[in-house]
Chains A and B, each alone.
Chain A
């Protein structure tokens, strides 16, 4: 049973560029959440996708956007990259219910130079 997978593992970009990160949920899950984890901090919620729509968003600017595909996989897009966007980006999958547990992938390490 495959867990949550993310690609790429590592990414280096320069300020002003755009980046796309990808996530495939755990088998049987239909909901994908994205989190940003800066160095030495706990993860911060970016947004959650269910039925191909964003159904909750954290305190992140519009530069952060996402998409969910019919097969439940998801992309996170970040435009106009800033140095402060350097972080580990974590994808978590779950069922649609509020009480369901979120299972995390290994993350994508983004470095902005």
Chain B
């Protein structure tokens, strides 16, 4: 069965520092990959998605992610963290043979002033 692993349940960075949130998936066939953000007491907002076009995907709010098939990874990065980036981030995968999203357990990003 497909699965998504997010390394680090909590990541803490200083304001202005690089943000790196890790995501690995288990699949022999390249899936569709997504990053969502969830602010407290809210639903999920789509940050970006990979659908087999360019391997470097740019999203909203300055985030981007790179699909690496050889490493089965889809890590999320942002060059400079803002206080407003503090939230929970979820990586998700969807196979072409399925309609459902499979989510990782999430990474909570803390941004220190």
Contact = CB atoms under 8 A, between A and B. Distances in A.
Interface string A22-54: 000000000101010000111111001000000
A58 B4 CA distance: 16
A66 interface: no
Interface stretch (B11-19, B37-45, B74-82): B37-45
Contacts of A103: 46
A55 B99 contact: yes
B25 interface: no
Interface residues of B, number: 26
B90 A45 contact: no
Nearest to B106: A42
B36 interface: yes
Interface residues of A, number: 27
A104 interface: yes
A101 B98 contact: no
Contacts of B96: 98-99
B101 A43 contact: yes
Interface of B: 4, 32, 34, 36, 41-46, 49, 51, 90, 92, 94, 96-106
Given A33-B101, A42-B104, A101-B49, 5 more contacts: A33-B99, A42-B106, A48-B100, A104-B44, A106-B43
